[in-house]
Chain A
Amino acid sequence: MNLRRLPFTREISLGVLVYLYVPVVVLIVYSFNANRTATVWTEASLDWYRKILTNPSIRNATWNSLVLATAAGIGSTLLALAAALGMRTRFRGAGLVEAVLNAPLILPEIVVAVATLMLFVAIGIDMGLIAMIPAHIAFCIPFAYLPIKARLEGMGPSLEEAAQDLYANRFVTFRRVTLPLLWPGIMAGFTLAFVTSLDDFLTSFFLSGPGSTTLPVYIFSAIRAGITPEINAISTIMLIVSVALVVTSFLLGKMRR
């Protein structure tokens, strides 16, 4: 039974894609709607985009989200790179280390978020970005680790061994051979970590302090008053940023062929 030859595969796939992406398209289209009601289209306007620029809450939330995602992305990618390189040799307890690294993928996020909050309060760390960054780095590590590890395994040891045969020491080998080959994996890992941190809600909610509200927390807390099209507008902008990031990392990967 060939999966490709099943009847209506193309139609079903198209249907699923439409079901997944039409809400996003509607969101973008209604960010240009002059009327604030989400179900009535009046005319096209850029009013809501102008309103975002003058809304201090949305500006602060977006800035916090971006700063946090960048810091978490860089931090977790560096740690994941070190982890992937270190895990190449099979040492005793490697399985356990692997399990701990990938723990955030399995542990329920709310449990980890509350536990982190209790820990930080007990050791006297104030809530805010200073607390949120380490917490985000921690749960972004597996997202950065898996692409790097996959790339590393695909690479194989032969090129590094060849470099070392030609008198390159470990640092030169890393810099001139391993790193350039690994680069697409690192960029993919960074992108995944960045996006995971960007749309995280639970950890950001529990660890937020004065002035450190992130965009998902802001959108959630706006539910009571009603979601205005300003949120459509900021979501469209964030979508464009994320897509641009993914496209850049993809192109970077292609360049390194």
Chain B
Amino acid sequence: MKWNGFLTASILAFTVAGAAWSEEEKVLYFYNWTDYYPPELLVKFETETGIKVIQDGYDSNETLIAKLQAGGAAYDVIVPTDYVIAGMISDGLLQPINASEMSNFQFVKPEFQDPEFDPGRVYTAPYTWGVTGIAYDSAQVTDGKLDDSWGVFFEPPTELEGKIAALDIGSEVIQAAALYLGLPQCTESNEDAAKIYALLEAQKPKLKMYSADSTVDRMASGEVAMHHLWSGATARAHEIKDTVRFIYPREGTPMFRDNFAMPVGAPHPENAKIFIDWMMAPENAAAVTNGIAYANSIESAEFLDDKWKDAESVNMPPEFADRLVPTDVCSPAAQELRDKIWTRLKG
């Protein structure tokens, strides 16, 4: 074919267009828990990097996994909790980001650099962490202080009976009961399950309710005097009512760690990596803690607001570090036992 001007021009045009297409658009699709990220920080990210972030929310890990497995909805950055990550990696839902090679990884606290669910931080980067413990209103308790044990929750003092709320989440309640009784978290033994069930059944009439919704309001309004509750929610309640205190039970305090990850099929992988790296910078991690009241995994103490420095629910006293217990992933048989216990308990 004759080599003419039109052909040259079109080839050049396609090359230029091709080069332009290969650069990612400056957009990031961020799928996070609702109300789990301060909006001002997103604005800061957009100003510093020029990447516009579109954030959507989910309410549980199960919803997140359902959305990813259904297909069709492609997000760039997601925030799964530790106990689902091993399963997501083996199901092929996540792609490697190699967080340990990013420039801000040096600021990650040593205990979060090499977790058992993602050795070497290949697929995830740390975000926030928290614990499930016991929140109580010191104004409604004689002496204003309770023992550091699950005992005050499962076998409460008489003055608190009828004023206690438990989380309406089977895995959390059964895990706490197993830790209190010294049994394995994911027991497959019927005798262990019977002991757990007996404990929970004896506790049930002393509870006011099982609920995981509007927990902050419930604690802050004084509707209950004690609540099986997460550290971040306790911190938010403490902000409203400063007599709210938090217990890290010595038999074992279940810890959850939330992490950034990139799902397979993310439309903007480079932007996702930029965001994840940016989030590991100390001042940005501290901004998250200051905004949502959950502890972060980065050495960022100098950037924390003063009010969080002496709230033990956010700033854990270091002597409690050995009480923290990661959540085990249960086998199907153990999960079935848990389902049986919970169904029988809730009637």
| Partner-B contacts on A (CB < 8 A) | 36-40, 54-57, 60, 117, 120-121, 125-128, 131, 206, 208-213, 218, 220-228
Contacts and interface: CB of A to CB of B under 8 A. Distances in A.
8 contacts: A37-B220, A38-B221, A55-B39, A126-B74, A210-B31, A213-B57, A224-B33, A224-B35
Interface string B42-84: 1000000000001111111001000000111111000000000
Contacts, number: 93
Nearest to A56: B39
Nearest to B63: A221
B205 to A, nearest CB: 24
Nearest to A209: B73
Given A37-B221, A224-B34, A225-B34, A210 B57 contact: no
Contact of B213 (A40, A209, A212, A223): A223
Contact of B214 (A38, A40, A206): A38
A211 B56 contact: yes
A127 B75 CA distance: 11
Nearest to B58: A221
A206 B66 CA distance: 9
A36 B213 CA distance: 15
Contacts of B54: 60, 210-211
Contact of B240 (A36, A126, A210): A36
Contact of B36 (A60, A211, A225, A228): A225
A57 B34 contact: yes
B35 A117 contact: no
Contact of A208 (B36, B73, B214): B73
A117 B57 contact: no
A210 B29 contact: yes
Interface string B296-339: 00000000000000000000000000000000000000000000
B217 interface: yes
Nearest to B42: A56
A36 B216 CA distance: 10
B289 interface: no
A57 B73 contact: no
B72 A224 contact: no
Contact of B215 (A218, A220, A221, A226): A226
Interface string B200-222: 00000000000011111100110
A223 B59 contact: yes
A221 B57 contact: yes
Size range of the interface on B? 20 to 34
Query: Which 7 A-B residue pairings sit nearest by Cβ, starting from the closest?
Result: A225-B35, A210-B29, A221-B57, A211-B54, A127-B73, A127-B72, A221-B34
Contacts of B73: 126-128, 208-210
A38 B31 CA distance: 28
Given A209-B74, A226-B213, 20 more contacts: A37-B221, A38-B214, A56-B39, A57-B55, A60-B54, A125-B72, A126-B74, A131-B72, A206-B70, A209-B72, A209-B73, A210-B75, A212-B56, A218-B34, A221-B33, A222-B59, A223-B59, A224-B35, A224-B59, A225-B35
Contact of B56 (A54, A210, A220, A224): A210
Residue among B70, B212, B221 facing the most chain A CB atoms (10 A cut-off): B70
B223 interface: yes
Given A37-B217, A121-B72, A213 B56 contact: yes
B182 to A, nearest CB: 30
Contacts of A37: 217, 220-221, 240
B59 A220 contact: yes
Contacts of A220: 59
A211 B31 CA distance: 10
Contacts of A227: 213-214
A120 B29 CA distance: 20
A218 B72 contact: no
Contact of B217 (A54, A127, A128, A226): A226
A107 B236 CA distance: 43
Nearest to B76: A210
A40 B222 CA distance: 10
A39 B34 contact: no
Contacts of A213: 56-57
B221 A39 contact: yes
B180 to A, nearest CB: 25
